[in-house]
Amino acid sequence: MKFYSLNKKASEVSFKDAVIRGLAPDKGLYFPEKITPLKNQFFEQIESLSNNEIAFEVIKQFVADEIPENDLKLIIEDTLCFDFPVVTLEENIATLELFHGPTMAFKDVGARFMARCLGYFNKLENTTEVTVLVATSGDTGGAVASGFLGVKGVNVVILYPSGKVSEVQEKQLTTLGENITALEVEGTFDDCQAMVKKAFLDNELKERLNLTSANSINVARWLPQMFYFFFAFKQLKNKNLDLVFSIPSGNFGNICAGMMAQQLGLPIHHFVASTNVNDVVPRYLKSGVYSPKPSFQTISNAMDVGDPSNFVRILEIYNHDIEILKEHLTSYSFTDEETLEAMKHLKNTANYIADPHGAVGYLGLKKYLASRTAQGVFLETAHPVKFLDVVAPVIDETISLPPQIQQIMDKEKVAIKISEYSDLKSYLLG
């Protein structure tokens, strides 16, 4: 399997090189040269397959022979060491819980898979140390830090916006030590992401460091997110209704992975990209004009993205044809006030505690299903305890801290403050 740059000005590369490089030399994101749908037999027997078996069938064509089957199966087994339950909340509305991993966020899967792939490639070739450079708007940082902690030959540098992540999120990426360094940036997530992209294009850094990224721009972070959608389909009892997924969307990696699952043959009828007031995609689908804008801070901070990196991959899937895209995608934006009301509603009617991101996903699904009958699933992407300052006042109830959170809350935060790209470059060059 080869991967090509979406800017179409760089050579095709292998899965391994796409993982190690992260971003193509022409600044483009990598995309697989072909997508071969899975056989009907796979879907007919999916309920009898384990999650590990499903994941192997889904990912193997993209990894190809660059990781032997037995090694790939071990990587998957080590990645998927937690549950992905579907919880029914209302008639034809369920949530897929993706927060049962080490850092209690959906990004645990991609981060763990990528870390193990990179570790495999490093061990295989005994290459020089790799520096993983990643920007986070919240959960990515903690998931990457946990996934890469202790991986030999890999140093991780995480940039996060000062004052714009929750206390739990900050603890998860600033307290691990070892091969993990946190850089606290005076600015927004978009500023962090811009610094990371600039670093990848800096010739001096490229000559002196082996840089890669663990954001969803990296194929090994992005593609494993396809697994969730297959796991949900496996658990659904009523497979006769049209299947609609509503995904809380910021950088659009998760929903793009769902669309890849659809390309593999998973019978998904429609996608809803549910956003907060950072509404670049909802506006694009209405106007036909893609117009990024500075991000605005909200209570669903992981979605505070003004220029979603993965949207170009979505356009590629649907041949850059907005009319075809609209057949598969609807997008709505919601305010913080609407999000809080949705959280209250879910607690009062279903006794379910949703985090702000899941609540946005619920709102999008309810709006889409208001005029049609379908089986709807919204993604609950993070445990509500990660947003205690928002959740606790809404539900008027104390949430006990899970073990994963308890063990970090008393640890001391260690972060290096930076304000501009030159600070990042100076740190990287030592």
What dihedral angle (degrees, nearest 10) is formed by the CA atoms of 321, 226, 57, 265?
-40
Label residues 226-251 b or e (16+ Cβ within 10 Å = b). Answer: bbbbbbbbbbbeeeeeebbbbbbbbb
Rounded to whole angstroms, how far apart are CA atoms 68 and 402? 36
Kindly report the number of other CB atoms within 10 A of residue 348's CB atom.
Answer: 10
C-alpha–C-alpha distance, residues 303 and 380, integer Å: 13
Radius of gyration (Cα) for the chain, nearest Å?
Answer: 20
Q: Which residues pair with 271 in a beta bridge?
A: 245, 329
Strands, E, within 69-165: which ranges? 86-90, 93-97, 130-135, 154-161
Amino acid at 137: S
Token match 């947003």: residue?
Answer: 387
- Length of the chain, in residues: 430
The sign one gets for the Cα dihedral 106, 123, 175, 82 is positive
Cβ contacts of residue 123 below 8 Å, gap of 6+? 152, 153
Contact present, 294 and 280 (Cβ < 8 Å): no
* CB-based contact 53:77 (threshold 8 Å): no
2 catalytic, yes or no?
no
Structure tokens at 70: 């037995």
- The pair phi, psi for residue 141, each rounded to 5°, is -60, -50
Residue tagged active-site, from 39, 73, 107, 417 = 107
CA nearest 418: which of 207, 198, 217, 247? 198
Q: Which of 300, 381, 299 is nearest to 105 (CA)?
A: 381
What amino acid positions are annotated as catalytic residues? 107
